Structure 1
Amino acid sequence: MIDRPSMDTPRFDISAALQRILQDEQISPPLAAILALTELIENSDAGTMFELVKALNDGTQVLKTTTSNPISLNAGCELFTAFVTLFPHDSANFNDLKKELIRQGQQYAADALTYRRKIAQLALGFIKDGSVILTHSYSRVVMQTLLLAHQHKRISVFVTEARPRGLGIKTAEGLSAAGVPSTVILDSAVAYVMDKVDFVLVGSEAVVESGGLVNAVGSNQIAIIARAANKPFYALAESYKFHRLFPLSQYDLPSHNSKILSFPSLSRPEPSVSSSNATIKSANFSATETTHSGHARPDSDSPLRITQEQISQNNPDVDYTRPDLISLVFSDVGSLTPEGVSQYLVGMFAG
């Protein structure tokens, strides 16, 4: 007789695990994905490597459904799955191997929390005293770099508002609280302010195989303006954000879908009037509310309204910046050219 698992045995919820891990402000989505997959191994009853890799792939598919922008999560999942498949299988039995994979995954995540400090120290050498810096949206590694630079040098920072999420305000508030001179500018004022800055410093959702950058929407146009003004454009990225993705345009990103930049039909709010009043208003409209061309004009009592929520839902969260627009990528593995990122990725996934 085949033993079947009890229906009372709780099934591991990797989505819940991810959300719990992300409550720690210091843990970014790729690291949270690695830790969630580590917990999946811990709770898995897989008895072979084939079953374990299948469980990891299934868990990865579930994690992708937790967010509209799975790019950074994908980078972490991809890195961890590659690590598991390339890990030397010389343990005495499979349970020992699983324990070692769990230990290694947890150790990697703990070590990775030190990467931002390494990047900040590396980038510090490129920041001169008196520098005026432009940054975009909010990034943990950029914040750590700017705060470290403030301890040693005089800097001032322009921060884009970063619509639609407005995370640039969070950056400016954090910098101001630490005593860093900073001011928020409109996203549309980047070209206006570019002549005042020495260089651009941004974070990343992912650095892809081409050496290009996926980051908060608006990064691409900032890079284009920086290139036109002959100003360096630097990206900061932990190595666990290096991603085997090769987009050729904005529409190749996994986060793109048919709802982004679509032309939705706008509906008017229903007027709160009685049926008799509605009949009267309809008659009056047909009699008086027409243009000279004979087309009816919208009723002034029920105007079309476009909300910020509608704008946000119809626009992308991230965009892609081509490698030729990026001066350097500062990472925990060194300061790399975009071509250097490509070479590093090839080596990292080749075992």
Structure 2
Amino acid sequence: VSFINNFYYLHTIIMFGLVDTIHILHTTMRDAVAAMRNTDLSIAAVVSGGELFCRFITLSLDDKHMEECRQIMLHRGKIFLTKLLNSRNVIAQQAKKFVTDGCRVLTHSRSRVVLKALISAAKNKEFHVYVTQGGPDNSGTEMVADLEKAGISSTLILDSATGYVMESVDFVMVGAEAVVESGGIINRIGTFTMGLCAREMKKPFYVLAESFKFTRLFPLNQRDLPDEYKYSRKHLVDVSKVHPQVDYTPPAYITLLFTDLGILTPSAVSDELIKLYM
């Protein structure tokens, strides 16, 4: 919710910002997105979402008068926010078809979009969900509480028990903090390990992610991820004694990505990303 609130903030800047040229407004928007990077929100999502928002609302406005531009941007901003708010519903409707009656699902920590999909699937099916604790903040416990509240049978497991449980599940379903150009994902630490286990045991590995998380980044390995993506802001001065909060899962370990743009194979991500950033 706090992430979406930031887009409402950007929309408010357009509505009430005291600027008289497109260039100044664009600069103000960029500064606002830069300020969002200093929050505790996912840096990956802030970078991609902020850039996509600015691109979408300012496309082909150079030759128009300022007030006309402002009205166009406000209209486009509303369209962007509407799509953003509805994206999880779209993804949930796609993903729920892959959750069959009596199946066993493994998910990592807590993901709002995964939770939405599972709750949607549970309306006419019964299944069991294994949820990893999701250290270091153990947000998996919150995920289990949400599932139990929705009447979905679930079990909280240790992060280190991923390999043990993998042989008992039908597929893996995780969220993502970012989807990169290769079709791989950046997500909470431990996702890559889960992908490795799933591939070794030939279990489908499904990723649920909103299109505003598509980012122009092409990591080749874990070391390629920028430090600001991997560590909290307070630890960036010295990262030698802290562990990363996220890892990179290459496209080879991903079966399908469920997005508000449709169900994609990892190889199709680059084409969709080009369309978004044109």
- Provide Cα deviations, 1:42-101, integer angstroms capped at 9, x if missing partner: 23222222212211222222111123741111111110121133244565x212211321
- Which residue number in structure 1 is paired with residue 75 of structure 2? 103
Shift of 1:36: 2.1
- Which residue number in structure 2 is paired with residue 334 of structure 1? 262
* Preserved CA contact (<8 Å) 1:33 1:73: no
Consecutive aligned runs of 4 or more in structure 1 exceeding 3 Å deviation: 87-91, 256-260
* Preserved CA contact (<8 Å) 1:68 1:255: no
In structure 2, give the amino acid aligned to 1:334. Answer: G
Q: 1:243 aligns with which of 215, 221, 236?
A: 215
In structure 1, give the amino acid aligned to 2:264. Answer: L
Shift of 1:130: 1.1
1:258 & 1:247 partners in 2: Cα distance?
A: 22
- Provide Cα deviations, 1:169-222, integer angstroms capped at 9, x if missing partner: 111011111211101000000001100000000011111111111111111110
Q: 1:143 aligns with which of 101, 112, 115?
A: 115
- Which residue number in structure 1 is paired with residue 125 of structure 2? 153
Q: Which protein shows a greater Rg?
A: 1
1:68 & 1:235 partners in 2: Cα distance?
A: 20
2:80 & 2:31 partners in 1: Cα distance?
A: 22
Using structure 1 for the length normalisation, give the TM-score.
0.73
Q: 3-state DSSP class of the match of 1:214?
A: strand
CA RMSD of aligned residues (A): 1.8
Count matched residues: 271
Using structure 2 for the length normalisation, give the TM-score.
0.91
Q: 1:202 aligns with which of 151, 174, 177?
A: 174
Identity of aligned residues (%): 39
- Which residue number in structure 1 is paired with residue 233 of structure 2? none
In structure 2, give the amino acid aligned to 1:255. Answer: Y
* Preserved CA contact (<8 Å) 1:33 1:76: no
Q: 1:48 aligns with which of 21, 25, 30?
A: 21
Q: How does 1:62-73 map to 2 (within 5 A)?
A: 62-67=35-40, 69-73=42-46
> Is the counterpart of residue 259 in structure 1 residue 238 in structure 2?
yes
* Preserved CA contact (<8 Å) 1:215 1:318: yes
Q: Bigger shift: 233-242 or 34-43?
A: 34-43
- Which residue number in structure 2 is paired with residue 37 of structure 1? 10
Ranges in structure 2 where 5+ consecutive residues have no aligned partner = 231-235
Question: Could you say if the C-alpha distance between residues 338 and 32 of structure 1 is closer, same or farther in structure 2, counting changes exceeding 3 Å?
Answer: farther
2:222 & 2:14 partners in 1: Cα distance?
A: 35
- Provide Cα deviations, 1:211-237, integer angstroms capped at 9, x if missing partner: 111111111110111111110110001
In structure 2, give the amino acid aligned to 1:197. Answer: V
Which has the larger helix fraction? 2
Ranges in structure 1 where 5+ consecutive residues have no aligned partner = 1-20, 23-28, 264-313
* Preserved CA contact (<8 Å) 1:194 1:225: yes
